[in-house]
Amino acid sequence: MVTACSVMTAVQATIARARQVLKQTFGYNDFRHSQEAIIGRLLAGEDVLALMPTGGGKSLCYQLPAILLPGVGVVVSPLIALMQDQVNALRQLGVRAACLHSALTADIQRQVEEELVGGHLDLLYVAPERLLSSRTLALLARVKLALLAIDEAHCVVQWGHDFRPEYRQLGRLQEIFPELPRIALTATADVSSREEISTQLGLQGAQVFISSFDRPNIHYAIQSSQNSREALWRFLEQNHPQDAGIVYCLSRRKVEAVAAWLSQRGRLALPYHAGLADTVRQRHHERFLREEGVVIVATIAFGMGIDKPDVRFVAHLNLPRSIEAYYQETGRAGRDGAPADAWMCFQLQDVITLRQMLAAGEGSETFKCQSRQRLEAMLGLCEMHACRRQRMLAYFDETLTAACGNCDNCRQPPETWDATEAARMALSCVYRCGQRFGVHYLVSVLRGRHDDRIIANGHHRLSTFAIGQAYSESLWKELFRQLISRAYLDVDLEAYGALRLTEQCRSLLRGEERIVLRQLEKRRKKVIKSTRSSLPLDAGQTVFFDALRELRIELAAQQGMPPYVIFHDATLLDLARKQPRDLAILATVHGIGENKLERYGRLILDRIAAVADRTMAVERDLSL
């Protein structure tokens, strides 16, 4: 007879074994976030939906159970590069992992299939298209399966990443493998997105784990500018003159132009978008992973699930279409937990372009309405003058009780002004000019410019002519941008950008509403420079860190792998602080499991000893 006590004892024994593997294989002393609870559910044969921040350790949630359970864990992953990185990293740890994808030769694919059928794999990574093929399903029917993990599960949501429709068909696997425990993982999903993921994948009965969405190591900064390239250059020069990072643009043309412009100014910048040849994209991706200081300029086709932990900044030169997309993209910075920046510079044209794309896109009216609401929430995040992190977390139903202290609004609170009267002047001018003219013309009327066109239209006789002379042209342009962003005005693209009043502006025109905006006349010219240092080490420790980084590069080059697959920066930082002189102390370092200890332990100790000897010799010479 099974008693509650015996069940509890079995659970405790399982978790104890999981902790043992955590240390011996992965080199970690403890679980993070909800990892232990998620792993426990999977080991008990239950389904899970897990939402964890990028860099929060999602992969471990299915990798560790797949090692412990009999059979092979099948992982659905969207990108070949991501699969290969995961497999390389696992093999460094001594885990039996492989992947099946179209870039492999026929011989290698056959070898992987033989390992799978022979029971010699703990983890197999596949793309959704391959997994759903009759050949792969027949192959899996011949082997013992441990679990099914669906990574990057936000691909299921049609307004998230609609370039992989096969993700929406993965619910079929519930019928094909009804007894198999499944886990879907993503870094971000609002309430409606979670519901759609659960419905599409048949996970309505799954235990849902939602870790904090907060990424406290990321500094958020958003600004608007008519010269976004120069603003980007100032940001890079002041904060990341040598760091690797990602610059996101909305169009392929802009990607190419910005990459070329950065290259001309001396940065190693490479373009990445779906219009490039596969070989070019692959080459640029590999250079980003393997070389130091590479900047990738890309559309959102780049970066999903990317494992590179030392991306120090993510910059946006266009407005993302939702807070969800913004969080997902900025989350690719600082995966190692060290300080990183999420910086954005957007323009009025971004708002117009995205609204036009939504209006012209496919989908039901309900879908379009949801998309517009997401865009409006994103605009609200951009225009606010309080803590940005509080607003962003609130979007995901998480409360941050105090201001974060690590966004631009917290670091340098913007001055605000009551723009109600100026806004009413602007709206009135739009109305009296017949809602037929764009921003430049309307500003000319408000400023009282006597040009031929205004006189020919008779608008120099309007009551709104010259009533705005007290404000500069740049202020008026910025005010119109914010009125458009806040949906008080709409842009008629078929009428060459003419502005039209919306229903929302009525209460403002009637004096029933007031509007407070950022101070426009005293806008900040300088980028807020982070108060952080690039490395949390003293001068002596930095010498060891640099030497160990050179060793990492050497080892990576010998094996043809990205350096971070050998060791993360977090491991090098711990080594630089502890400076171990024997294997026992080395085994306590973060990220050093048994396999890496055996494989690299002596090399690390020799390099540390050599640095220590050089340091002592220099100190002796200085004392003479």
The 10s digit of each residue's pLDDT in 115-136 is 999 999 999 999 888 888 889 9
Decide if 119 is inside a domain.
Answer: yes
Contact 444, 518 (CB under 8 A): no
Residues 540-553 have a mean pLDDT of 89
Contacts for 31 with CB less than 8 Å, ≥ 6 apart: 19, 22, 39, 57
Q: Which of 603, 604, 599, 588 is nearest to 23 (CA)?
A: 588
- The per-residue pLDDT for 532 is 43
Residue 277 burial by Cβ neighbours in a 10 Å radius (0-12, 13-18, 19+): exposed
User: Per-residue pLDDT tens for 187-222?
Assistant: 766 677 788 888 888 888 889 998 888 899 999 999
Read off the amino acid at residue 486: R
Last residue of a domain, one of 354, 378, 411: 411
User: Per-residue pLDDT tens for 83-115?
Assistant: 888 899 999 999 999 999 888 899 999 999 999
- Can you read off the two tokens belonging to residue 417? 């002004």
Decide if 531 is inside a domain.
Answer: no
User: Per-residue pLDDT tens for 455-483?
Assistant: 999 999 999 999 999 999 988 988 998 89
d(CA 489, CA 484): 5
Last residue of a domain, one of 210, 232, 263: 210
- Can you read off the two tokens belonging to residue 100? 């099946």
- The per-residue pLDDT for 66 is 95
Q: Which domain holds residue 250?
A: 218-411
For tokens 């806004």, name the residue.
Answer: 423
- The per-residue pLDDT for 533 is 44
- Can you read off the two tokens belonging to residue 430? 């739009």
- Show the DSSP H helices in 527-578 as ranges: 539-559, 563-566, 569-578
In this model, does residue 577 exceed pLDDT 70? Answer: yes
User: Per-residue pLDDT tens for 305-329?
Assistant: 567 888 999 999 999 989 988 998 9
Decide if 12 is inside a domain.
Answer: no
86 & 231 share domain: no
78 & 201 share domain: yes
In this model, does residue 527 exceed pLDDT 50? Answer: no
Q: What torsion do the CA atoms of 429, 434, 435, 439 make, to the nearest 10 degrees?
A: -50
Q: Of 5-9, 340-344, 556-560, which one has max mean pLDDT?
A: 340-344
Domain harbouring 439, CATH code? 1.10.10.10
Residues 570-579 have a mean pLDDT of 91
- The per-residue pLDDT for 310 is 84
61 & 176 share domain: yes
Contact 396, 213 (CB under 8 A): yes
Beta bridge partners of 418: 516
331 & 471 share domain: no
User: Per-residue pLDDT tens for 247-283?
Assistant: 999 899 999 999 999 999 999 999 999 899 988 988 8
- The per-residue pLDDT for 193 is 76
274 & 398 share domain: yes
Residues 270-297 have a mean pLDDT of 89
Contacts for 207 with CB less than 8 Å, ≥ 6 apart: 41, 46, 47, 48, 49
Residues 534-550 have a mean pLDDT of 83
d(CA 619, CA 617): 5
Phi, psi at 275, each rounded to 5°: -80, -10
Question: Within a 10 A sphere around the Cβ of 212, how many other Cβ atoms?
Answer: 16
Last residue of a domain, one of 184, 210, 236: 210
In this model, does residue 7 exceed pLDDT 60? Answer: no
- Poorest-pLDDT segment among 10-24, 196-210, 294-308, 535-549: 294-308
Residue 140 burial by Cβ neighbours in a 10 Å radius (0-12, 13-18, 19+): buried
Instruction: Please report, for residues 11, 272, 350, 468, the alpha-carbon distance to residue 44 in angstroms, rounded to integers and kept in the order given.
Output: 8, 42, 48, 69
Decide if 141 is inside a domain.
Answer: yes
d(CA 523, CA 210): 38
Beta bridge partners of 498: 492
Question: Within a 10 A sphere around the Cβ of 524, how many other Cβ atoms?
Answer: 13
183 & 227 share domain: no
127 & 171 share domain: yes
- The per-residue pLDDT for 304 is 56
Domain harbouring 568, CATH code? 1.10.150.80
In this model, does residue 401 exceed pLDDT 50? Answer: yes
Contact 28, 591 (CB under 8 A): yes
- The per-residue pLDDT for 465 is 93
- The per-residue pLDDT for 359 is 76
Read off the amino acid at residue 408: D
d(CA 160, CA 509): 37
Judged by DSSP in three states, 401 sits in: coil
Region of residue 397 (phi > 0: left; psi between -120 and 50: alpha; otherwise: beta): left
Domain harbouring 176, CATH code? 3.40.50.300
In this model, does residue 494 exceed pLDDT 80? Answer: no
Decide if 175 is inside a domain.
Answer: yes
- The per-residue pLDDT for 309 is 83
Decide if 46 is inside a domain.
Answer: yes
438 & 391 share domain: no
Share of the chain above pLDDT 70, in %: 91
Question: Within a 10 A sphere around the Cβ of 600, how many other Cβ atoms?
Answer: 19
Contact 27, 590 (CB under 8 A): yes
Instruction: Say what angle helices 35-43 and 58-68 make with each other, to 10 degrees.
Output: 30
Decide if 154 is inside a domain.
Answer: yes
d(CA 435, CA 427): 10
- The per-residue pLDDT for 520 is 58
Judged by DSSP in three states, 55 sits in: coil
In this model, does residue 57 exceed pLDDT 60? Answer: yes
Count of residues in the chain: 624
- The per-residue pLDDT for 118 is 93
Decide if 148 is inside a domain.
Answer: yes
- The per-residue pLDDT for 120 is 94
For tokens 């001309």, name the residue.
Answer: 264
Share of the chain above pLDDT 90, in %: 48
Q: Which of 214, 213, 231 is nearest to 222 (CA)?
A: 231
Beta bridge partners of 11: none
Range list of β-strands (E), 4-96: 48-51, 72-76
d(CA 346, CA 353): 12
- Poorest-pLDDT segment among 108-117, 351-360, 525-534, 598-607: 525-534
For tokens 């910075």, name the residue.
Answer: 333
Q: Which of 413, 412, 415, 441 is nearest to 426 (CA)?
A: 441
- Can you read off the two tokens belonging to residue 304? 């999903």
392 & 289 share domain: yes
Residues 157-177 have a mean pLDDT of 69
In this model, does residue 3 exceed pLDDT 60? Answer: no
Phi, psi at 175, each rounded to 5°: -75, -35
Instruction: Say what angle helices 4-26 and 35-43 make with each other, to 10 degrees.
Output: 120
Residues 223-231 have a mean pLDDT of 89
d(CA 499, CA 437): 6
- The per-residue pLDDT for 523 is 41
Per the structure, how many domains does the chain have? 4
Contact 170, 133 (CB under 8 A): no
Q: What angle do CA 154, 156, 159 make, to 5 degrees?
A: 75
pLDDT range class, residue 160, cuts 50, 70, 90: very low
- The per-residue pLDDT for 116 is 93
- Poorest-pLDDT segment among 12-16, 243-247, 286-290: 12-16
Q: Of 3-7, 141-145, 301-305, 416-420, which one has max mean pLDDT?
A: 141-145
Average pLDDT over the chain, rounded to an integer: 86
- Can you read off the two tokens belonging to residue 210? 């939602």
Pairing of strands 182-186, 145-150: parallel
- The per-residue pLDDT for 306 is 67
158 & 40 share domain: yes
d(CA 505, CA 518): 19
In this model, does residue 366 exceed pLDDT 90? Answer: no
259 & 367 share domain: yes
226 & 195 share domain: no
Residues 400-404 have a mean pLDDT of 92
Contacts for 294 with CB less than 8 Å, ≥ 6 apart: 244, 268, 269, 270, 287, 288
Q: Which of 495, 420, 419, 480 is nearest to 446 (CA)?
A: 480
In this model, does residue 161 exceed pLDDT 50? Answer: no
